[in-house]
Amino acid sequence: MQSSLKLVDCIIEVHDARIPLSGRNPLFQETLGLKPHVLVLNKMDLADLKEQQKIIQHLEGEGLKNVVFTNCLQGENVKQIIPTVTGLVGSSCRYHRGESLEYCAMVIGIPNVGKSSLINALRRQHLRKGKATRVGGEPGITRAVMSRIQVCERPLMFLLDTPGVLAPRIESVEMGLKLALCGTVLDHLVGEETLADYLLYTLNRHQLFGYVRHYGLGGACDDIASVLKQVAVRLGKTQKVKVLTGTGDVNVIQPNYPAAARDFLQTFRRGLLGPVMLDRDVLQRSPVAEP
């Protein structure tokens, strides 16, 4: 990735719009410094963007001036990216070159934020061609084969068709949990039940009670065991087990907690529990510094 970055005129960094302030790998910023950079906050359909201006100000404070919110599944705002890139490359004096020269951009980001989906969406929008790269639900499925895809005629612009995969920067346990909720870290590394517990805590704190409706629960609850038990019963994920007691065998219904936790997480990730802003606490904690 380091060597291909040298050939690139612009970096398109993709990140998850639900965690606009968490988990980005700052490494390349030092490495690249002067290269034009666009931050694409993808999965906007899953994000609560009521405080979009605050997010943009916050990112500006970190020196990120070119931010585009997208939904790569619907192609929303994807059209804004290439004009932003050409504008940046055109106005950066280091890259003032003859008109005939072509541009090359590279997509980078942490796993599962939608890098491949963005490459596909750009290709669809600009050349009306179908799938360019594989898209996968598990982090790290993209293979390392380097070729270029044309994404624009005028100016002639190419995109490396293999995104650069960065490791997320995990500064705290909570940041790690947010990253895991967004699917950027393999679930089993955290444990699905731990993650489900953090999800329930977050939904309650943000007063997002869609889960109560979705699973037909009696009401909001902050006890994960109780919620998962009800979810398991709802989904029919239970099993009868014989328990030996002093007075003989008794059949008890045992909920399948891991299956319930998995369903809870999947339902959340599909957006069925409503949009979220997992970095709301960061936005509230640190008021935007005056320039």
Ligand X SMILES: Nc1nc2c(ncn2[C@@H]2O[C@H](COP(=O)(O)OP(=O)(O)O)[C@@H](O)[C@H]2O)c(=O)[nH]1
117 is in an annotated binding site: yes
The candidate with the shortest Cα–Cα distance to 162, out of 184, 141, 142, 140, is 142
Residue 129 tokens read as 């061609």
Q: Which does residue 114 touch among Mg ion, ligand X, none (CB within 5 to 8 A, set by kind)?
A: ligand X
Q: Is 116 in the site for Mg ion (CB under 5 A)?
A: yes
- At 7, which amino acid appears? L
Among 58, 115, 126, 178, binds ligand X (CB under 6 A): 115
Q: From CA 250, how far away is CA 196, in angstroms rounded?
A: 30
The stretch among 43-51, 94-102, 190-198, 254-262 that binds ligand X (CB under 6 A) is 43-51
Residue keyed to tokens 């799938």 = 131
- From the list 154, 163, 224, the residue with the least C-alpha distance to 192 is 224
Q: Is 86 in the site for Mg ion (CB under 5 A)?
A: no
Pick what 170 binds: ligand X, Mg ion, none; C-beta below 5 to 8 Å, kind-dependent. none
Shortest distance, CB of residue 115 to Mg ion, whole angstroms?
5
Q: Rule CB under 6 A: which of 92-111 touch ligand X?
A: 109, 111
Q: Using only the alpha carbons of the chain, give its radius of gyration.
A: 22
Binding residue for ligand X, selected from 5, 29, 45, 56, defined by CB under 6 A: 45
- The verdict on 123 binding ligand X (CB under 6 A) reads no
1 binds ligand X (CB under 6 A): no
The smaller minimum CB distance to ligand X, of residues 72 and 200, is found at: 72
Give phi and psi for 60, each to the nearest 5: -60, -40
x-marked contacts with ligand X along 243-282 as a string, rule CB under 6 A = ----------------------------x-----------
**Could you tell me the two tokens for 128?**
């009306």
Binding string to ligand X for residues 124 to 163, with x set by CB under 6 A, is what? -----------xxx----x--------------------x
* Interatomic CA distance for residues 82 and 151, integer angstroms: 8
Answer yes or no: are the C-beta atoms of 130 and 124 closer than 8 Å: yes
Residues 6+ apart with CB under 8 A from 69: 17, 40, 41, 42, 44, 47, 49, 52, 77
Which residues are near Mg ion by CB under 5 A?
A: 116, 142
Q: Give me the residues that bind ligand X (CB under 6 A), please.
A: 42-43, 45-46, 71-73, 109, 111-117, 135-137, 142, 163, 271
